[in-house]
Structure 1
């Protein structure tokens, strides 16, 4: 009995110790969870990367100071008094460029890309991939794998093998060169770094939008429409040129032509297909009716949902051609599979206080490429009988 009682007492003491250990673990886990929650809330405050904590806070601070003041004779003269500005460039060697420019902080670069994504129709619907090397390469396969039916003891001869080809998308360099007075830089109470991001994004979007559709590939992307039969890059993709469906009229679009276009795209690609056209073309199509007098273009009935044409969403890009004889005013397809945009990570800024006094210029460059990824994924409507 004494042994049994001693054993029971030992079990109670061990159980108590175990409960204390578990309570301590729970307490530490609660502390860690609280820290993680507070950190996540702080990083995401304001909604997204626009207000996220800088990847390198010290570099970001120096970049903003360099943006306003640079490093000129005035700073050197003030160095003995302040001991700050003359050391800006020396401390920014991590982002230096041989021509005197600097790599923009990561969060600034991210802000520019987010603004481009928000306003660029092609960036919203195409496949966008960032790269850290000079270009982007993918592999194209014709998927021609042979097969056949055989009996239990029938010989199995070799079948055809799919052909595989690399497809490269090299970068072109795009630039913006906005100016602002040094006085405004010195005295402005607004965020001049954000001003540059906004200005650059607006100009880059304008230039990119043109190149993504009609770029000749010379120091710029290869435009979507240049892959049409007879186009500059019709023979550059191993998968061939984009398919073209005539509208059925020498100078106009027709309802039957649009229906033929939609079914000219193979079924696997139609699942995620989108129409692409300009506003002037959309105005023409918006008035079209079917044989029962119903508009082909369906109005939006749910807030935030895109308008649809024949059941598929419509993207408006003002760089698409207008309706005219032999023009290609409408594209239809799965642009995620059909067109790739490759961004070379990093925006570089060269501060120029000398070329146009009393203005300070900010020569800003970015490298971007683009081209058709899968020619089977997009079809074009050509105005013609």
Structure 2
């Protein structure tokens, strides 16, 4: 049995709070400067270039503060491997020891004896070897911290190559009947199936033999640290815009339909009414329309997803009473909010442009499914890039929309 202790946050918490305090002060300065800019526009029809530049610089500082907070929280969430893992399972200890021998010295006999078959489908021992369970779990934790959509979506671990989920396209007929009236036979429900195949994602970190020979270096943690950002970047793009060919299908890759003509199998959208931007008058109304395009049951856990450039544009919007719609995090470890809903940055989201879909809003836990094929595999290659040793690391990941009611998009276009 493996016991994982919670990560310590004694160092990260004060740093997070300091970054949050800086963010709050910067946002107050931003509001004051932006009010000056708006007053100049109202008075003279155009803002002073120096004021515009000041607003831009403060906005960049806000983005930097937000990134710093996210970095600190991510670092604090990581659980160092080794030392704080108490493994009571003899087989797990044997696997960990054999894996270290393989990674450091290329000795695969121990892993061959432990693993019943090779790790890639139909390729024998060239498929590599499973990393220890703790390393696999740590890679998963780091991906959840780094990959915004994975952190929001439902994540399911599977043992097969494809996860299949049935859903009901039409339910049994129902109706009212008097106490003694006849009950006519109802139609049977119609079922369809959604398939989520797991595709191969790989990274290939390189190490020197000196690093591998150094007993003070935690090799398992090094591998996890080297592959997490590479995996997260690829996942982040695929979960947003992947075409489903040798990669997960992103929620922006499905057919789209105006909310008034929406049907199951497509993603509904609300248009801003202006090409590539928010409308000049009542700019916040389109965000209200987007929020209420989502059914009430989904709004309870809904969140906005956009990139930092779109968030910069949203940060300037106000409601009818003159209050800013965007608000900084209320506490360390929490996201910024827009109209009371959390805002999550995903750099893979498109910028605001004519016909683009720069903002998504919905309950992503119900709307999007990420499937992980159990097992992260490592193949040691000391030959291809001598004197470096390459570690071909793979995991299989899939994803797609599982509930088309749960995610809505904002389209920056006239219609």
The TM-score range, normalised by the shorter chain, is 0.7 to 0.9
Query: 1:189, CA displacement in angstroms?
Result: 3.0
Structure 1 counterpart of 2:13: none
After superposing on structure 2, the runs of 4+ consecutive aligned residues of structure 1 that deviate more than 6 Å are none
Query: 1:312, CA displacement in angstroms?
Result: 1.1
SS at match of 2:413: coil
Alignment equivalent of 2:5, drawn from 25, 28, 44: 44
Aligned residue pair count: 325
- Root-mean-square deviation (CA, aligned residues, Å) is 2.3
Q: Say whether the 8 Å CA contact 1:337–1:374 is kept in structure 2.
A: yes
Q: Say whether the 8 Å CA contact 1:275–1:313 is kept in structure 2.
A: yes
Alignment of 1:123-162 (within 5 A): 123-162=150-189
Instruction: Compare the two structures and name the one with the higher strand fraction.
Output: 2
Alignment equivalent of 2:359, drawn from 330, 344, 350: 330
> Distance between the aligned counterparts of 1:159 and 1:152, measured in 2?
18
> Distance between the aligned counterparts of 2:4 and 2:151, measured in 1?
25
SS at match of 2:253: helix
Q: Which sections of structure 2, spanning at least 5 residues, go unmatched?
A: 9-78, 258-262
Relative distance call for 1:49 and 1:165 in structure 2 (3 A) is farther
Structure 2 counterpart of 1:240: 265
Q: TM-score, normalised by structure 2?
A: 0.73
Q: Which sections of structure 1, spanning at least 5 residues, go unmatched?
A: 1-38, 72-85, 231-237
Alignment equivalent of 1:57, drawn from 93, 99, 106: 93
Structure 2 counterpart of 1:116: 143
> Distance between the aligned counterparts of 2:181 and 2:114, measured in 1?
72
Query: 1:62, CA displacement in angstroms?
Result: 1.5
Query: 1:94, CA displacement in angstroms?
Result: 4.7
Q: Say whether the 8 Å CA contact 2:95–2:111 is kept in structure 1.
A: no
Relative distance call for 1:181 and 1:245 in structure 2 (3 A) is same
Query: 1:192, CA displacement in angstroms?
Result: 2.3
Q: Say whether the 8 Å CA contact 1:49–1:110 is kept in structure 2.
A: no
Relative distance call for 1:123 and 1:275 in structure 2 (3 A) is same
Relative distance call for 1:204 and 1:245 in structure 2 (3 A) is same
Q: TM-score, normalised by structure 1?
A: 0.79
Query: 1:46, CA displacement in angstroms?
Result: 5.8
Query: 1:95, CA displacement in angstroms?
Result: 6.9
Q: Which has the larger radius of gyration?
A: 1
2:99 counterpart of 1:70: no
Moved more, 86-95 or 332-341: 86-95
Q: Say whether the 8 Å CA contact 1:95–1:103 is kept in structure 2.
A: no
1:192-248 alpha-carbon deviations (Å, 9 max, x no partner) = 221111111111111111111111111110111011427xxxxxxx93201111112
1:104-127 alpha-carbon deviations (Å, 9 max, x no partner) = 111111111011011110111100
Query: 1:282, CA displacement in angstroms?
Result: 0.7
Q: Say whether the 8 Å CA contact 2:255–2:265 is kept in structure 1.
A: no
Q: Say whether the 8 Å CA contact 1:95–1:104 is kept in structure 2.
A: no
> Distance between the aligned counterparts of 1:214 and 1:179, measured in 2?
29
Alignment of 1:288-327 (within 5 A): 288-327=317-356
